[in-house]
């Protein structure tokens, strides 16, 4: 995974005065304390620095700066700090110092009173690791890597350095893995390739973890197994493809009695042409990202195995491409899902819900305490919420509240949308149990959520529609242009904070 640095680059000290010299050093600044800095505040104001969370400014020539150290002001805002603020500040600090070889940062110490020492340190390390991310596998001449390879972090005495850095590395690694998978061109990542990547990731995480804490495993269902297991939704979407489908089932089982059992289900459409309901060029341009839900589940599972929570977790990814081949499912065809319900397919471009129907049906058979599915499911969600918020729906108020709390703690934006029973009639079919799209164009995200709810019964379930935030158009904080890895941090927070 292309994080250009590892945690070996980080040295944590509890006495900043004893920190070894570096080429650059930050000066964390609260925006409401700028006027206490004397002449320095005038210099910063002239440079446009206002102390907002994540803002940075070089302070060359400022009185009191060591001759051989470049000071960098980094803003902390004026309100109570969040871990997201600190990650953003650390990431932007990394970018500001990327051309020097070493940096000393007091960010973790400055944020410890607001967040707690361990959380603050983890946020700083994670932000810096993610800022170092770059996907350059297919460039003939990859851009020059950051020079910054040594970071000295000041933290309060008593900080659990090993745990904080270990958590940051696990989460950042999971996010980087998800980004890698989504950034990969569809021609280089088939359903079988996605299954191989998941297997390798879980094996690597197991090798890094404590074998006494629990066990991890991966099982991949091929076409023959999918037919035997009655996964008609996944097979129906795959019908027009020359590439075989795959259902990936990853498991984490703690040695201790688990406090809960949670299933994560991801949509893994490695490329979506729309099938026979073919997309336009503009609609198809970014459809390599349509496996972003599966990528988030794989990334989260790799982090969970490393962090070894006492929660049993199963990750299920339903993977195929959606192609308009001569054997493709046709509008009007009827598919039988694993739970026995039949679906009239009236739009082959509403395929994600068909593969998820099999994954959800399989998941609830084991009666978990919670099922969470993630999918780049509807363009309608982007129309409603833009490209920074994901949609959140579910059938259980406690489960929705738990998901909202996890997303808030993780700093990922989810907006609760309803599952209105008044709209269920939109899915009525005269020849099958339900149709895969609503009868009009309005409320498409809600129709999709209602469709999925047909396959979970009474099991507590939440659905994340991540079509908007799955990718970003520019570097921003810990995000790098391209895939965002959205969802990984929320899933890890939900599991480890159970």
- The span from the CA of 292 to the CA of 495, in Å, is 19
Catalytic-labelled residue, pool 288, 306, 353, 489: 353
Residue 257: both structure tokens together? 């009695």
- The span from the CA of 287 to the CA of 273, in Å, is 7
Distances (CA, A) of 252 to 33, 203, 491: 47, 12, 14
116: left (phi over 0), alpha (psi -120 to 50) or beta: left
- The span from the CA of 99 to the CA of 146, in Å, is 6
- The span from the CA of 337 to the CA of 452, in Å, is 12
Kindly tell me the number of DSSP H helices and DSSP E strands found in the chain. 15, 19
The DSSP secondary structure of 302-347, one letter per residue, reads: HHHHHH--SSEEEEEEEEEEE---TTS--TTEEEE-TTS-EEEES-
Residue 284: both structure tokens together? 């198809």
- The span from the CA of 319 to the CA of 466, in Å, is 17
Residue 5: both structure tokens together? 């640095």
- Does residue 481 carry a catalytic annotation? no
Distances (CA, A) of 354 to 162, 235, 429, 472: 43, 9, 15, 27
Residue 448: both structure tokens together? 């999709």
Residue whose C-alpha is closest to residue 234's, from 116, 358, 333, 126: 358
Enumerate the β-bridge partners of residue 262: 313, 370
- The span from the CA of 161 to the CA of 480, in Å, is 27
Q: Contact, 391 vs 385, CB < 8 A?
A: yes
Query: Phi and psi for 448 in degrees, rounded to 5?
Result: -65, -40
- The span from the CA of 351 to the CA of 358, in Å, is 12
Sheet holding 10-13, edge to edge: 10-13, 150-154, 102-105, 24-29, 70-75, 56-58
Q: Where are the alpha helices (DSSP H) in 37-136?
A: 39-46, 83-96, 107-115, 117-131
- Does residue 330 carry a catalytic annotation? no
Catalytic-labelled residue, pool 30, 150, 230, 279: 279
Q: Where are the alpha helices (DSSP H) in 146-210?
A: 161-183, 191-208
Residues annotated as catalytic (active site), given as ranges: 279, 353
């Amino acid at each position: 995974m292309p994080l250009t640095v590892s945690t070996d680059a980080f040295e944590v000290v509890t006495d900043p005065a004893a920190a070894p010299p570096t080429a650059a050093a930050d000066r964390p600044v609260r925006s409401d304390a700028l006027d206490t800095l004397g002449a320095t505040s005038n210099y910063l104001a002239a440079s446009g620095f206002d102390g907002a969370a994540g803002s940075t400014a070089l302070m060359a020539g400022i009185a009191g700066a060591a001759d051989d150290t470049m000071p960098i002001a980094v803003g902390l805002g004026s309100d109570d700090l969040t871990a997201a603020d600190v990650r953003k500040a650390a990431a932007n600090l990394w970018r500001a110092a990327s051309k020097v070889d070493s940096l000393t940062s007091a960010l973790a110490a400055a944020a410890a009173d607001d967040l707690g020492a361990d959380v603050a340190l983890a946020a700083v390390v994670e932000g810096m690791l993610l800022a170092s991310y770059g996907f350059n596998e297919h460039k003939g001449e990859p851009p020059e890597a950051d020079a910054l390879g040594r970071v000295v972090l000041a933290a309060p005495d008593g900080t659990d350095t090993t745990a904080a850095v270990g958590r940051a590395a696990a989460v950042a690694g999971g996010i980087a893995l998800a980004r890698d998978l989504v950034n990969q061109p569809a021609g280089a990542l088939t359903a079988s390739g996605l299954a191989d990547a998941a297997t390798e990731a879980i094996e690597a995480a197991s090798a890094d973890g404590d074998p006494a804490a629990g066990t991890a495993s991966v099982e991949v269902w091929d076409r023959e197994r999918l037919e035997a297991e009655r996964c008609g939704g996944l097979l129906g979407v795959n019908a027009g493809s020359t590439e075989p489908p795959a259902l990936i089932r990853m498991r984490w089982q703690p040695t201790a009695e688990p406090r809960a059992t949670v299933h994560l289900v991801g949509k893994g459409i490695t490329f979506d042409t729309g099938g026979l309901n073919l997309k336009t060029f503009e609609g198809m341009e970014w459809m390599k990202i349509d496996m972003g839900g599966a990528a988030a589940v794989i990334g989260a599972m790799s982090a969970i195995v490393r962090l070894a929570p006492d929660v049993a977790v199963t990750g299920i990814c339903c993977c195929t491409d959606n192609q308009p081949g001569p054997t493709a499912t046709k509008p009007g065809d009827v598919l039988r899902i694993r739970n026995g319900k039949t679906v009239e397919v009236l739009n082959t471009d509403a395929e994600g819900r068909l593969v998820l129907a099999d994954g959800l049906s399989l998941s609830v058979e084991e009666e978990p305490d919670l099922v969470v599915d993630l999918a780049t499911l509807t363009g309608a969600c982007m129309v409603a919420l833009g490209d920074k918020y994901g949609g959140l729906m579910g059938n259980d108020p406690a489960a929705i509240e738990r998901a909202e709390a996890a997303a808030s703690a993780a700093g990922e934006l989810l907006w609760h949308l309803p599952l209105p029973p008044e709209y269920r009639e939109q899915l009525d079919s005269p020849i099958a149990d339900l149709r895969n799209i609503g009868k009009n164009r309005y409320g498409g995200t809600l129709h999709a959520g209602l469709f999925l709810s047909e396959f979970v019964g009474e099991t507590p379930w939440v659905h994340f529609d991540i079509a908007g935030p799955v990718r970003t158009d520019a570097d921003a904080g810990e995000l790098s242009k391209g895939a965002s890895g959205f969802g990984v941090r929320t899933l890890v927070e939900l599991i480890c904070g159970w």
